[in-house]
Amino acid sequence: MNAFIGLGANLGDAQAGLRAAVQAMAQWPHSRVLAVSSLYASAPVDAQGPDYLNAVVKLDTKMAAGVLLTALQAIENEAGRTRPYRNAPRTLDLDLLLLGDLKLGDERLTLPHPRMWQRAFVLLPLRELAPERVSAAQLALVQGQRIRCVRQGSAWAGSGW
């Protein structure tokens, strides 16, 4: 099943942190990184701090939603992620955006990600990998958010997956 994972970081060497996260996902059993979007710089949304670097990964996986969320949180923890307050700056943020067409809502995980449609830093890279998942109308709703592409394609994330 295809999963789409949003990546973001705005502390430390953000690009290296995102690259390491993609490489960690590539090591998971029963999973394969299919594509990585371009790398974007974006202003924080509902937060303060330096600009974020963002991307989206398309992953083919057999992991169940909860198992995948736990694996993503383990990568965040290894990167030194802390959660001192809502929307705090971070070394790494990994969000499970979509898992096939699964719709889920519980105290731990909501799919599709409930705020993805409000964020240009999710929609622009997601549209690169799955244009059928992001409409022009959805993009129009986030057009006022400051975002720019800083590296084209998946070359920034390295190879080997």
Catalytic residue among 51, 86, 90, 101: 90
Catalytic residue among 32, 60, 83, 93: 93
Catalytic residue among 51, 95, 133, 151: 95
- Checking 45-49 for CB contacts under 8 A at 24+ apart, the result is 45/87, 45/118, 45/119, 45/121, 45/145, 46/87, 47/87, 47/88, 47/89, 48/89, 49/10, 49/11, 49/88, 49/89
Write b or e for each residue in 116-140: b if 16 or more Cβ atoms lie within 10 A of its Cβ, otherwise e: beebbbbbbbbbbbbeebbeeebee
Q: State yes or no: is 93 an active-site residue.
A: yes
Q: State yes or no: is 95 an active-site residue.
A: yes
Q: State yes or no: is 101 an active-site residue.
A: no
Catalytic residue among 19, 46, 60, 81: 81
Residues designated catalytic = 81, 90, 93, 95
